[in-house]
Structure 1
Amino acid sequence: MIRRLLCALALTCVVAAPALADGDNRGYGLAGILSASNKEDLSPIILSAGEPLSEAPWELRSGSYYEFEIQGDGSQELGLVGPEFFRAIWIDEIVVEGLEIRPLGLDSIEFDEAGVMEIGFVAIKPGQYYLKVPGSTGDTQRLEITIK
């Protein structure tokens, strides 16, 4: 009797899993939320003296996987801070010159010279966040981020 109940429960979970995976019924596939169907590339962040960080604010969905590049041109030593944002996401990996880093978390990053960094993450906690150049006050030196 218990064996039949467990088999029925397992079958129900397998049949219902794609429908439960997301509200819009995308069905993720075997890799779950890390599946290619759940991945989106974001516009890059540009670290350059006097230039805007990004073209537009980011609107993200909780549970979706995102990748973006941070491009530093070396015109000035620049960094990004956003501890609240970094605590609202799960960072899968950071790639710098082909080296993959899998940190437990971040608080800030800094470019001392020209280079490119790629960050892959899953948005987790809904809310309003930002990334900004430390010590800056201008709107163009701040990227507004919304996780829905």
Structure 2
Amino acid sequence: MIRTLTTTAAMLAIAAGAAFADSHSDDDDDDDRGFGLAGILSASNKEDLPPITLSAGMPLADAPWVLKSGTYYEFEIEADGSQELALTGSEFFRAIWIDEIVIEGLEIRPLGLDSVEFDEAGVMEIGFLAIKPGSYVLMVPGSTGETQRLEITIE
């Protein structure tokens, strides 16, 4: 009796699996419901920011950034190699979610960031999601000039 029940259950499981496989075959386009990427990752929620320039004695940016919480942003840091320069802003980096950092085609997906440094000329692209509203600063460490800092507000 138990053997008959086990055999019957096994045959029912095989039949159910076959029916499921048929209803979800590769030829079936029912899995495409016409939806795009979810909310914050959609292309309509992405903005490009002006680049930050790392150059001896030159301003980092033309104007402060005003960002909106929940929006995805991308920007480039361009270093001309005139001097070994870093950019620090741990409070800002903790107020955002960094999606990726791209350096010469290499993609880095960090859990966090405190600062970046350029020993020579190069370009770095950072993609992030603004999260925590507040006022933040990115700056060249040890500098006191207003042009060596970028004021950032997340609304």
Which deviations, in whole Å up to 9, do the C-alpha atoms of 1:31-63 show, x marking residues without a partner? 320111000000000000000000100000000
Could you say which residue in structure 2 is the equivalent of 1:116?
Answer: 123
1:63 counterpart (59, 70, 76): 70
Shift of 1:122: 0.1
Report the counterpart of residue 99 of structure 1 in structure 2. Answer: 106
3-state SS, counterpart of residue 125 of structure 1: coil
In the alignment of these two chains, the number of paired residues is 121
> Quick check: 1:35 aligned with 2:35?
no
2:125 counterpart of 1:125: no
Counterpart residue type for residue 129 of structure 1: Y
Structure 1: give runs of 5+ residues left out of the alignment: 1-27
Identity over the aligned pairs, expressed in percent? 82
Could you say what the CA RMSD is over the residues aligned between the two structures, in angstroms? 1.1
TM-score (norm 1): 0.80
With the length of structure 2 as denominator, give the TM-score of the two structures: 0.77
Residue in 1 aligned with 2:54?
47
Structure 1 ranges of 4+ moved more than 2 A: 28-32
Rounded to whole Å, the distance in 1 between the matches of 2:36 and 2:68 is 18
Find the structure with the greater CA-based Rg: 2
The amino acid across from 1:89 in the alignment is I
1:139 counterpart residue number: 146
* Residue ranges of structure 2 left out of the alignment (5+ in a row): 1-34
Cα distance in 1 for partners of 2:115, 2:60 equals 15
C-alpha deviations, 1:77-133, integer Å up to 9, x for none? 000000000000000000000000000000000000000000000000000001000
Task: Output the CA distance in 2 between the equivalents of 1:85 and 1:63.
Answer: 15
Q: Matches of 2:154 and 2:46 in 1, distance apart?
A: 15
